[in-house]
Structure 1
Amino acid sequence: MTDAGGDAITYVHAPEQHRYEVRDGEDVVGFAQYRLPDDEHVDFVHTEVDDAYGGRGLAGAVVEFALADVRDRGRRVIAHCPYVARWLTKHPEYDDIADPAR
């Protein structure tokens, strides 16, 4: 994805920050924050995208990127973040790795 300025929107895992990031060039413009409650789960706690980038589907794209990575790593998802929880209800293809938030 490319913005009006020509920079590419990219999605990266930043494990040292416990989040998956949306970047516009070098700038972080959104993220899906998580915690690691145990050796099996990735618990998503907050997702946000800068207002200037709203309405472009970036939050959904970073969540999809994150969940694909979680699956590839053989882990499971917990969604305490309301956005991630709603996203999961619309994407049953991730039911196999989703556990309820407690």
Structure 2
Amino acid sequence: MTQQLNDNTGARVTVNLDEAQPISAYTVSLADGSRVGRAEFIDPSNGERIFFHTEVDKEYSGRGLAGLLLREALTDSIRNNLTIVPLCPLFATHLKKHGTAFLADGGRFRRPTKADITLVTRATQRNA
């Protein structure tokens, strides 16, 4: 999945899906290819995607890049019939505010559990 988009300044950016094990990410890059943000997740092989961390380099804050990552990740989850588990505060806040619209568009999400936190902790420790 690769999407060409424009940020809040009108600059061209690219959002890519970088699949890896155990941690994958949607990344956002500038036109020159510099990667400046990522939304990290794990796929526990049960049709769910647990988002646990999103960040954008501080020098690019205010350009809407985190929002682009979030929207593309959610749109891709609908396309792939995945249930979102929002451990990441950005995803949790977005779904709290816009969850009804996300569900109406065909998305699915559920609240995280302690088991989800354990899965993410193990994945990030293995990746360290």
Q: TM-score, normalised by structure 1?
A: 0.88
Between the aligned residues of both structures, percent identity stands at 30
CA distance in 1, matches of 2:7, 2:53: 25
Match of 1:49 in 2: 56
The residue aligned with 2:19 is 15
What TM-score do you get using the length of structure 2 for normalisation? Answer: 0.71
What is the count of residue pairs matched by the alignment?
Answer: 101
| 1:94 aligns to 2:127 (yes or no) | no
- After superposition, the Cα gap between the structure-2 partners of 1:71 and 1:54, relative to the gap in structure 1 and judged at 3 Å, is same
Q: Runs of 4 or more off by more than 4 Å in structure 1? A: none
Contact 1:70 1:76 in 2 (8 A): yes
Does the aligned pair in 2 maintain the 1:60–1:87 contact within 8 Å? no
Partner AA of 2:12 in structure 1 = A
| Structure 2: segments with no counterpart, 5+ residues | 1-5, 114-128
| 1:74 alignment partner AA | N
